[in-house]
Structure 1
């Protein structure tokens, strides 16, 4: 990748020769709106929130021919990077693929688009990047790290990992701010409640803390996604309320730990109204994944960067993560946090939720066994209706 504002035909030729042939341009939302570049499909239709978000493709009108040559594409990239360019300066469709950068960059989404634009901004240049995936010349697959390093050494190009960039930014900026702390007596025991406000969209999140976190090592942690129907009203359709209840019990028994309660995650990020519509489809025979797809919504649109920053602020460094969802491991990586083990969350299986739990296992990769050694691995669900793990039942 490189800064779009510095692109030359020679640079473009190098990208095309050593990349996939698809040249993408990372851009902020306000610039995409200024140039009237709509997304190829609504963001809610992306099944995976980690996937890149493309707009319609473009070619610059001025000084270009077919738009496909290195010279033409370099001119298009330069036009996209210029604050003076207008919507009418482009032909649609074209040969350059603009990508939407998510506000907050790699601290919000650990993706190549965000990383490339963040690097350009750190260099003090206009916030527009140009990037292309490196391809293995032998079989056309994405190049291995070894091949990438070889290419970098041959051409004296530095390699920067997204994890490195997250670490760099995390040391210098935060996207959440702590707004209040209060003593919180609960039915499980005495905790402290920490309120955090996101600087990105103003959403307030809460961390429920038990005991002295101290040096931040080996902390029992649950990162819980908001579920109004399950957490508050006890919906039997899901296991969310039971998981939250169990997490609080386990932390109380351990005498030390944290539950981070992330707002804006309703229905795996689709919102309450859409979740209720998905329920109707599930009653007609769809599973939870099929229902979201039928509605044109993401299967899982949640992001965990904010949760990671909250944990860092409280002082967590290494943790045992209470989850059945491997995606949370990925979502928390790169923020100076180490997951040293997973504590499975076993909750009751009922006629109402058994299909939902099975779908999460078969289609979303959830696992219900334990890979952690020590006293916590012996904990079982203290809810009287539970008889064991999903695998046992």
Structure 2
């Protein structure tokens, strides 16, 4: 709900059907203006997926204890007012301000971001008021059927964070092209397009071969940055070899695109964490076990959300290939003119995530590189634990790269057999 429209009746409804904790989502600049520091500053650094509470407040003017619906409404209205000053509030209080991450649900798929994004779409001041709905029987977070029943009784629309992300991503331009240059390479002559993400400022690059023309049936590789593999030729992974093969195939085809996504080091965990994971792998862990041992996501790259999680449920923020729709590469591919593509990948998450939104994946081309003693366990783990597929719908010239031990459990149609 828009904080600027808060009333005692609405506060009473929230307290009655919610957890009793009423929060207010606010942008960082408003929190700084009102001098509302984070309750636990280090929590934001340790876990960027967690909600970030500031110290609690009550409005000083026109309130008593601060706990009544009337007092809470006045505090919420004061927080939403651009005229309010730090001295207008008592600390601590009964309202819980929350810091909104810039970029909203496209940056963090959380309740705070979703509620503020909805208010922004109405054109009102970007301050929201929210509370978690609970089951009156046992106090647990309410189930979706309960939410739907409550919404029907009170004529309240229900929306999911998934819906909001789709809406924003379809209607907003999230990247900007900053430069184009001719790029002679060891594979041949390409054009390099540089793009900057409006969400976090990260620069990505598209390497384009030939005339994309009508954008139909374009050979495409979406490649996540891997410093150790791409630059230093690490034998622990197949990243550098995959990039090399993709560039070769596009050069041979005379037409295609490689989108190189930066900020995805180590499937999104960062270079330092990746090197620590290497040490654990030397001790016997596989790539998945090593990430888990370090308390990290198996795949922390931002692909977008996939799970249908509604605003009433606990916060969705597992940044994994299963849970996030990719948006940078989609808009980059559209910008260079791609409409339908043959996607070079062994990762079904990329194949699924790039479908729709004006783009169509009409085929998958495997990126099969030599299996070595150093990377054999890594590749097998990606197949058995991360769902990578090493068969293809285009065989032929790539067949010599296939090693039976990696593909031994794969069916004839290129899909992995159930474990």
Inter-partner Cα distance in structure 2 for 1:341 and 1:22: 50
Inter-partner Cα distance in structure 2 for 1:5 and 1:334: 37
Inter-partner Cα distance in structure 1 for 2:258 and 2:285: 32
Secondary structure of 1:390's aligned partner: helix
Taking structure 1 as the reference length, what is the TM-score of the superposition?
A: 0.75
1:56-78 CA-to-partner distances (Å, cap 9, x unmatched) read: 475434447585x7566555644
Residue 50 of structure 2: which of 47, 50, 53 is its match? 53
Greater mean deviation of Cα atoms: 278-287 or 69-78: 69-78
Inter-partner Cα distance in structure 1 for 2:16 and 2:223: 45
Deviation at residue 235 of structure 1 after TM alignment: 0.3
Deviation at residue 41 of structure 1 after TM alignment: 6.2
What residue in structure 1 maps to residue 314 of structure 2? Answer: none
Asked if 2 retains the 8 angstrom alpha-carbon contact of 1:207 and 1:261, the reply is yes
Secondary structure of 1:276's aligned partner: helix
Structure 1 regions of 5+ residues with no counterpart? Answer: none
Residue 377 of structure 1: which of 380, 384, 394 is its match? 394
1:113-152 CA-to-partner distances (Å, cap 9, x unmatched) read: 43332221232222222345667889967655x8766655
Inter-partner Cα distance in structure 2 for 1:380 and 1:114: 48
- The structure-2 alpha-carbon separation of the partners of 1:61 and 1:232, relative to structure 1 and needing over 3 Å to count, comes to same
- The structure-2 alpha-carbon separation of the partners of 1:30 and 1:188, relative to structure 1 and needing over 3 Å to count, comes to same
Map 1:350-361 → 2, pairs under 5 A: 350-361=372-383
Inter-partner Cα distance in structure 1 for 2:214 and 2:135: 44
Asked if 2 retains the 8 angstrom alpha-carbon contact of 1:166 and 1:334, the reply is no
1:179-235 CA-to-partner distances (Å, cap 9, x unmatched) read: 222333434444322111233444321111234434444444322111111011110
Greater mean deviation of Cα atoms: 191-200 or 108-117: 108-117
Secondary structure of 1:309's aligned partner: helix
Taking structure 2 as the reference length, what is the TM-score of the superposition?
A: 0.71
Asked if 2 retains the 8 angstrom alpha-carbon contact of 1:104 and 1:175, the reply is no
Secondary structure of 1:184's aligned partner: strand
Deviation at residue 176 of structure 1 after TM alignment: 1.9
Secondary structure of 1:116's aligned partner: helix
Map 1:356-367 → 2, pairs under 5 A: 356-363=378-385, 365-367=386-388
Deviation at residue 3 of structure 1 after TM alignment: 1.4
Secondary structure of 1:377's aligned partner: coil
Counterpart check, 1:236 vs 2:235 = yes
- The structure-2 alpha-carbon separation of the partners of 1:170 and 1:9, relative to structure 1 and needing over 3 Å to count, comes to same
Greater mean deviation of Cα atoms: 262-271 or 69-78: 69-78
- The structure-2 alpha-carbon separation of the partners of 1:337 and 1:142, relative to structure 1 and needing over 3 Å to count, comes to farther
What residue in structure 2 maps to residue 194 of structure 1? Answer: 193
What residue in structure 2 maps to residue 267 of structure 1? Answer: 266
Inter-partner Cα distance in structure 2 for 1:274 and 1:78: 44
Inter-partner Cα distance in structure 1 for 2:170 and 2:21: 33
Secondary structure of 2:279's aligned partner: helix
Query: Which has the larger Rg?
Result: 2
User: What is the RMSD of the two structures over their aligned residues, measured on CA atoms?
Assistant: 4.1
What residue in structure 2 maps to residue 305 of structure 1? Answer: 327
Secondary structure of 1:89's aligned partner: strand
- The structure-2 alpha-carbon separation of the partners of 1:368 and 1:53, relative to structure 1 and needing over 3 Å to count, comes to same
Secondary structure of 1:102's aligned partner: coil
Map 1:332-351 → 2, pairs under 5 A: 332=354, 335-339=357-361, 342-351=364-373
What residue in structure 2 maps to residue 91 of structure 1? Answer: 92
Inter-partner Cα distance in structure 1 for 2:106 and 2:223: 19
Inter-partner Cα distance in structure 2 for 1:335 and 1:161: 18
